[in-house]
Chain A
Amino acid sequence: MNGCEDCSGCDLLHLPVDAKAEYVVALAGNANVGKSATFNQLTGVDQDIGNWPGKTVERAEALLQHRGRRIRVIDLPGIYSINALSTEEQVSREFIAHDHPDVVVNVLDASALERNLFFTLQLTELESPLVIALNQVDLAAKKGIVLDAGKLSALIGVPVIPTVAIQGKGIAELSDAIVTATCSRPRPKTIRYGKEVEDRIARIQALLPEGSGGYPARWTAIKLLEGDPDTVWEVRQHSPGVAAAALESGRELEKIHGEPAATVMSAERYHAAEELAASVMEIRPLGDNEVSLTEKVDRVALHPVFGYLLLAATLGGLLVWTFVIGAWISGVLTEFLSGIAPVEPLITGTLPEIIFNGAWTGFVAALTLIVPYVIPFYLVLALIEDSGFLTRFSLMLDKGMHRMGLHGKAIIPLVLGFGCTVPACLSCRIIEAPKQKLIAAFLVTLIPCSARTIVILGVVAVFVNIWWALALYLLVFVLIVVLGRLAFRLLPGESVGMIMEMPDYHVPHLKGVIGQTWQRTRSLIGIVLPAYILGSIVITAAYAVGLLEPINAALYPITVILLGLPAVIGVVFIFGVIRKEMTILALAAILGTTVFSDVLTPIQIIVFGLVTLLYAPCISTILALAKEFGWKAALSITALETSLAIALGALVFHLVGPFL
């Protein structure tokens, strides 16, 4: 990777061009400072961005081609400290410490320099080749903070580029700096801490054998002093005497300060960060009437009464908006499409006829059912995310979440779950404690995702009435609370409280919101449309050949005896595991009509809706769960939800049925 041995210097215009060489550059920094926005600007791709800490839970990568160099840019999850706690933070820590990227671009939030520099100092300890992007300088200026980038660069000894990533300002300069850095490898200066600490670091460093463990000696010495278990274990393998001496030094520090050595080191870093920040920062005092937008909005959004009203209005409005706007678009589309060719799901005929009918039915179903409901939902969701409201929901609902052993951060995956369960499960990584992470993911799988919402709307609301659709929703929410409490009681492990940064609000960026909505919808169209068309053909063909009978016969005891549904519906649930939207399509294909009330009684439609809401998560979700928590957890959740769906469905059929 390093092709610089015969480099004559690092003049940007005369860089040695090596078409094959590929450099690795990692974007790292605190949560919600604009790493993903910077990443998008650098590489031109559309990585999801949002205004809440924890948006990026997995690293993303894309190519930056600049001045003849190919650079793999990696967007890492936000990290506050190398002594990281949560899974997302560990992803970053591992990558920076073990994979040794050619350059680390440390993105800083200019308006909160002190806190951001704390992590920068840890990077300097690691001696990573560093470029600093001083982001959001515009917001800092609004808060009356003016920064001297040149001075910061001189103090840390690496390039510092002021940027406003969301508007693309400073990105060209940053790209240049990155390209130059792949060659010059700017090594940060060693930032010195207090004498008490420095003396001990020097003592340990002197004892360490040359080049042990692939880390800089100063870094290893600091980690030993802090008593980091991994480092201590590693050093103990080859030089147990050094490890013992280092631990002794750590204990001395603890005696002096009455605090663990790691805490002393953190305080030292903050002290150094304070000094650095103070020397490059000029603060213009804000006038009394310059109350920030954030403060004004928060006076309402976090108000004990209005805050909850706003919260209820937003979440309720989100659903109503989806229903109303979705129904309207769906109506227009259906009328338009049925003008082109009639939808007749089941016609037995020649093979081409079957294929055409299947494909057309699938296409119409996907276009009229999925797209209209999903687009308005994602649009509003993007607004909530980008503005910064999502974090306020976390704060307001924190106390309520305690009842399920969770804390406010879990609101984020739960809200995202209304869109698609898979990314929502992954975003559970922002929760630190393993037990709480698992409970959150389990509850996320119960949240009616957009696919299930479509089924409830398209089947129950249309053919029974809207109240039954809402009642099913309500039932699911009650179940979430009850099961959450149960899981909290039954699962081992401890629950920890929430600590979460509250970002400033900003007016959502139109381009960002539309981009994000399109991004999510596009992936849906890309998967659902072909799946629908293909699935529709398969069902139509299988029906024509008579393949469905054995499956339906096997499921007869459940579908007919317990749930009181027609036997032909058995196969519908099988298709639903692939994707939940498939149930509605399969139902239409198998019943031979889209007017379900002609063939199903209201109670059958309700039971069908209820079972679809609850039974096994779709395949993608099961895979996501297995990846995050292992197969045992994934299959347990699947089994639990399936039996729950059958039990509740049977209960409703036998208890409510006679009255309907």
Chain B
Amino acid sequence: MASEQLEEYLESILDIEEKHGIARTSAIAKCVKVAPASVTEALQVLSDKGFVKYEPYKGATLTEQGREMARKVKRRHRLLEVFLTDVLHITRDNVHDEACKMEHSLSDETECALCKLLKAPARCPHGSLIEACDRKVESCSACLDAGQAPPASARNEPLLPVTSLAPGQKGTIAFIRGDNGVVQRLTDLGLTLKTEVQLVRKAPLLGPVEIAVRKTKLAIDHAIADHIFVTPSGEKSR
């Protein structure tokens, strides 16, 4: 299977999994627009390569390796969408399909340059969150400040935006995206790197999130909180 196709499958499974928990063959077929029989075949291949866990008649879930890959492609997809919309002014209706074709041939270097050019955007034009990159940085100024080469080493743990934590779940701040102003504002309120935070609750419809940090509670605009990435700690204290 071509790597393009493989990546498309992984992306679709990630989407479906986020909504329904497990990606059923029929749902994948609808999403990738192929016959269910071909999906079964493809899932077998993905399973052999260690990207998904496939259980016939039930569906597929991503393995850690598969999830990482899927997230990486998703990030590129959404970065490209921002680029197509904001820089090239392509019509909103076309950017998804365009980005779908371009995302598979993007190198790490180009992805990084694109992120720099767009000043580390938080969301794609359709409003979906853009994942943090997998470079070993603690804030964006490592890349955005002129004259500094971004570190080449990769991060070894998966990061989640604090807004993706479940209510009651804790995490440790690992990366804050955005310009110096945002970082300074959050830092002054105690949201410094390596600090443990807990998501208390989320307001509906992407309203502000309430975060407990250093024994205080802060209500933070969803779009700002999207900039705070954490390494989630497994247990949910409730």
Contact = CB atoms under 8 A, between A and B. Distances in A.
Nearest to A270: B192
A114 B219 contact: no
Interface in A378-403: 391, 394-396, 398-399
A112 B125 CA distance: 39
B185 to A, nearest CB: 7
Contacts of B184: 83, 260, 262-263, 266
B158 interface: no
A260 B208 CA distance: 27
B69 interface: no
Classify chain A's interface size: 35 or more
A266 B141 contact: no
Interface string A232-265: 0000000000000000000000110111101100
Contact of A501 (B138, B148, B216): B216
Interface string B186-220: 11111011010000010111111010001111111
Contacts of A538: none
Nearest to A498: B221
Contacts of A398: 203, 207-208, 219, 221
Given A266-B187, A396-B207, A502 B142 contact: no
Interface residues of B, number: 39
Contacts of B218: 499-502
Given A115-B216, A260-B184, A262-B184, A399 B206 contact: yes
A395 B220 CA distance: 9
A118 interface: yes
B76 to A, nearest CB: 23
Contacts of B192: 266-267, 270-271
A304 interface: yes
A185 interface: no
Contacts of A145: 215
A302 interface: yes
A595 B71 CA distance: 72
Interface string A331-351: 000000000000000000000
B110 interface: no
A108 to B, nearest CB: 12
Contact of B137 (A111, A255, A258, A260): A258
Given A266-B184, A270-B192, A394 B204 contact: no
Given A259-B138, A498-B208, A395 B190 contact: no
B187 A395 contact: no
A307 B237 CA distance: 24
A409 to B, nearest CB: 9
Nearest to B221: A497
A407 interface: yes
B180 interface: yes
A407 B221 contact: yes
Nearest to A145: B215
Interface of A: 80-81, 83, 85, 111-115, 118, 143, 145, 254-255, 257-260, 262-263, 266-267, 270-271, 298, 302, 304, 391, 394-396, 398-399, 407-408, 497-502
Interface of B: 137-139, 141-142, 145, 148, 151, 180, 183-190, 192-193, 195, 201, 203-208, 210, 214-224
5 contacts: A85-B185, A302-B201, A391-B219, A396-B207, A399-B208
